[in-house]
Amino acid sequence: MIKMVIKWIIFALVIMGTCYLPGIKADGFEWAMLIAAVLTIINIFIKPIIKLITFPINLLTFGIFNLLLNCAILYAISYFIPQYHIENFLSGFEASVIIAIAYCIIKRF
């Protein structure tokens, strides 16, 4: 249980770190914690279904389409949580790359 909470806090810190990119803003650490929780739930339950549906496109683009999926998920989260703002596509794409790399690293431990 403690290990899960530590991963959640680290993931929230990564999200707060992406707020230093131009065009991304979270209103506070408590909102970053909520975003981390929502993003984790989406990655566990919804993303495998989306990956299965988009498998042919993923196959054609050699997996680069996953980055666009991550960006779309971040935009959806910023739409439903107004305290998290993404102003343009490039900022969202950069944040999705950073978050995807961090998520892979955090999942390993």
Distance set, CA 16 to CA 12, 27, 55, 61 (Å): 6, 9, 31, 30
Helix (H, G, I), strand (E, B) or coil at 74: helix
Q: How do the residues of the chain divide into helix, strand and coil, expressed in percent and rounded to 5? A: 75, 5, 15
Mean of the per-residue pLDDT values of the chain: 92
pLDDT band of 34, cuts 50, 70, 90: very high
pLDDT greater than 90 at residue 106: no
Task: Give percent of the chain above pLDDT 90.
Answer: 79
The reported pLDDT for the residue numbered 1 is: 85
Owning domain of residue 81: 2-108
- pLDDT tens for residues 46-92? 999 999 999 999 999 998 899 999 999 999 999 999 999 999 999 99
Considering only CA atoms, which of 13, 52, 45, 11 is closest in space to residue 29?
13
Query: How many angstroms from the chain centroid is the CA of residue 79?
Result: 13
Q: What is the pLDDT of residue 108?
A: 86
What is the number of structural domains in the chain? 1
For the CA atoms of the chain, what is the radius of gyration?
14
